[in-house]
Amino acid sequence: MSTTLSSPPNLLAKSTGNVAGRKLKNIVMLTLCIIAAGLAILVLGLVLYFLLSKGFSSLHIRLFTQLPDNIDTSKGGMAQSIFGTLVLLGVSSAIGLPFGILGGIYQIEARGRFASLVRFFTDVLNGIPSIVIGIFAYAAVVFPLAQRTHGQGFSAYAGGFALGILMIPTVMRTTEEILRLVPFPLREASLGLGATRWRTMWSVVLPAARGGIITGVMLALARIAGETAPLLFTIFGNQLFATHKVAGVSVPTLTAPIDALPLRIYNYSQDVDPNHNAQAWAGAVVLITLILVLSIAARFATRGNMQEEK
C-alpha cells in the first residue's frame, strides 16, 4: 500500500528534474509547427501573388462579357467558359448530390454489412484519378451518344456525369460524418413521439445537420470546379455559347459541347499567342476567386448552423 502511495510523488519528482529538457523540447516542437504552418501559408500566398501579379492586369470586363475573338485575339473574352463552368457545376450537382447525400444517409441508417461495403467502395472511388473517370465518362456517355445521334456526344451532360461521380465520395463521406454528430437522443425523442423514421430524418436529423452537409457540398463543388482532366474527354470545348430557346428564353443546351474555365486556361496557356497567355492568367484568377467564394460560403454555412443550434 505504501509503495503505491509513494509512486506518484516519485514520478512527479522525476519529471520536475527534467523540466528544462521538456521546455526545450516544447520550444523546438512549437517552432517546427509554426514553421510548417508558415510554409503552408507561404505557398498559398505565393500562388495568389503570382496569379494576381500575372493575371490582374489582364482582368478586364471583356473577359466576362465577350466570346473569344479569333480575328483580333486581344479583344476577346471567355464569357462562354465562365458560363460553362457554372452550368457544369449545376449539372454535376444534379447528378452527384442525390447519390452522395442519400448514400450518406443510408450508411448511417442502415449500418449493415452492405453499408460498410458501400463505404469501402466510396473510399476506393475517392482514390481513382480524375482522368480515369474522364475516360470512363467518354466510354459510358460520349461514345454511345455519338453512335445514336451522329455529331453528338460531347456535352454538358457528359462533363456533369464525370464531375458528378467525382463529387459523390466527398459528399457521401461528409454527410455520413455530420449525421453521426447529430445526438441520438434527438432521434429517440422524435421516434418516441410517434414520428416515422422518414419523418425523423427529414424534419429532425437533416435540419440539424444542414450546415455540415452544405459544407460538404461546397467543398465538393470547389474540388470539381478546377478539374481539367475529366473535361478533356467529355465537354470538347466551345468558342461560343451553347444555348437554345425554350419559349423565347435562352437556356443552356446540355446536349451540346460546352466550355469550362480550366479547359480554356489549359488550352490558352499552351498557345503561342501572348494575348491568349494573358487571358489564361486572368482566367486562373477568375477560377480561383470562384473556388475561394465557394470555400468561404462553406464556412458561412457551418457558422450559421452553429449559431442556430445555440
Partner 1 sequence: MHKSFTQTWKGAVLAALGLTLLGGASAQAQQINGAGATFPAPLYLKWFQEYKNATGAQVNYQAIGSGGGIKNITAHAVDFGASDAPMNAAEMAAAPGILHIPTVAGAVVVAYNVPGVGPGIHLTPAIIADIFLGKITKWNDSQITRLSPGIKFPSTSIFPVHRSDGSGTTNIFTTYLSEVSSEWGGADGPKSGKSVRWPNGLGGKGNAGVAQLIKQNEGGIGYIELSYAVTNVISYAAIRNAKGKFIYPSVNNTSDAAEGVTLPADFRKVITNTSSVTGYPITGFTFLLVYKNGTRPEVKKLLQWCLTTGQAGAAAQQYAPLPPSVKRRALAAVASMR
CA 129 from chain centre, in angstroms, equals: 15
- Closer to partner 1 by Cβ: residue 58 or 155: 155
User: Residue 292 and residue 271: Cα distance in Å, rounded?
Assistant: 27
Q: Which three cell numbers stand for residue 142?
A: 460520349
96 near partner 1, rule: CB under 8 A: no
- Closer to partner 1 by Cβ: residue 226 or 266: 266
Strands 243-246 and 249-252: antiparallel
Give the nearest distance from C-beta 64 to partner 1 in angstroms: 20
238 near partner 1, rule: CB under 8 A: yes
123 near partner 1, rule: CB under 8 A: no
Q: Minimal CA–CA distance to 288: which of 264, 261, 309?
A: 261
Q: Among the candidate windows 21-29, 188-196, 270-278, 287-295, which touches partner 1 by CB under 8 A?
A: 270-278
- Closer to partner 1 by Cβ: residue 109 or 266: 266
Q: At what angle do helices 79-110 and 156-181 cross, to 10 degrees?
A: 40
Give the nearest distance from C-beta 262 to partner 1 in angstroms: 15
Give the nearest distance from C-beta 295 to partner 1 in angstroms: 20
User: Residue 136 and residue 142: Cα distance in Å, rounded?
Assistant: 9
257 near partner 1, rule: CB under 8 A: yes
- Closer to partner 1 by Cβ: residue 254 or 265: 254
Instruction: Select from 107, 122, 215, 253 the one that contacts partner 1 (CB under 8 A).
Output: 253
> According to the 3-state scheme, what is the secondary structure of 163-226?
HHHHHHHHHHHHHHHHHHHCCHHHHHHHHHCCCCHHHHHHHHHHHHHHHHHHHHHHHHHHHHHC
User: Residue 242 and residue 79: Cα distance in Å, rounded?
Assistant: 12
- Closer to partner 1 by Cβ: residue 113 or 245: 245
Binding site for partner 1 (CB under 8 A): 69-71, 90-91, 93-94, 97, 142-143, 146-147, 150-154, 156-157, 202-203, 206-207, 210, 236-240, 242, 244, 246, 251-257, 270-273, 308
